[in-house]
Amino acid sequence: MDAFALLTSVSQTYRNIESLALEALVINESGDEDSRNRSQARIVFKYAAPSRLRYEQGGRRGMVQVADGRRMHTCLNRGPMGRGPRCHSVPMAPERPLPHVFRSDLPSGGGNEPFLYQAISEQVASSEVVREEHGCYVVAVTYLKSQHSMMLTRMPVLFWIDGETFLVKTFLQEVGHRTPAEEEITWTTHTISVQKIEMNPSLPDGTFEFVPPAGAVVTAGEHGFVSGGGGGGFVKFADDDPRHIEHRGSHEWDGETFVEHSKWKLRGTTLIFERRLTFSENGQELEIVERAQSPASQTETSCSLRLK
């Protein structure tokens, strides 16, 4: 069996699907031989071409996603700081791809596990049928390098493809994530094991209607929402671009002093900054102390800034 021809058949099968219903087990494992973390969740997924879907993950940290053809609704069972359900909806648009559609340039996980494989044969660098197992062809696929600098995938993606239906029964992807301005890579293995699957079923009325749970905070807008703590980072430009930038920052209070930490990677050099802001007792002056460090040296400067 030619591997790429098999991938092409899978792609065509999913493009021709009118509806799909499945139940799957999603397993995420991370860590090393000394310490490992493992999570497992059961997923119910339903789809009607071209743009309606319903994704349900139970549990306190679960979520529901519903695309009704006009809007995309996302509801987290547990909001920030342990609060109740939080729901958000945005208009659907052609430039915003559906979630749960396989894309080789994006890693699985975080509620975006792939179940639709129309693009499985795109951006393929190499493919190989490595074995046959339980009526499936196990195919190892290496895709062209991702443009997402913080994602490193060194192992080929593995697909278990049913030899009769050309549906994907199991998906396994090993992904390495690197925090901006850091060298350590954290590896996570994502496994999606389909337990039940039905192609072109008759789906009940109301499958793609979204009803927020009781007590949920509901918001709407043009963009999605995210929440975070007192830190973050970013990467800009490709690794081989001389303008390549990586940044990670955080901040906190140290007694009455506000401390800002900043780590930059510019032209292959890591620079570390710490800025300490201390207000005078009368609130009229601000003392600023900044420490800067490179691999070869470090320095400290200070100044005062009048506020009133």
Q: Phi/psi class of residue 147: alpha, beta or left (left: φ > 0; alpha: ψ in -120 to 50)?
A: alpha
Report the range of poorest mean pLDDT among 12-26, 33-47, 132-146: 33-47
- What is the model's pLDDT at position 62? 85
Residue 228 reports pLDDT greater than 80: no
CA distance 28 to 40: 7
E strands, 201-244, in order: 217-220, 231-236
Q: What is the pLDDT of residues 209-225, one digit of tens each?
A: 999 888 888 887 654 43
Domain limits, the chain: 3-220, 231-306
* Verdict on whether the full-model pTM lies above 0.75: no
Q: What is the pLDDT of residues 109-144, one digit of tens each?
A: 777 899 999 999 999 999 999 999 999 999 999 998
CA distance 142 to 288: 51
Per-residue pLDDT band for 153 (boundaries 50, 70, 90) equals low
| CATH code given to domain 3-220 | 2.50.20.10
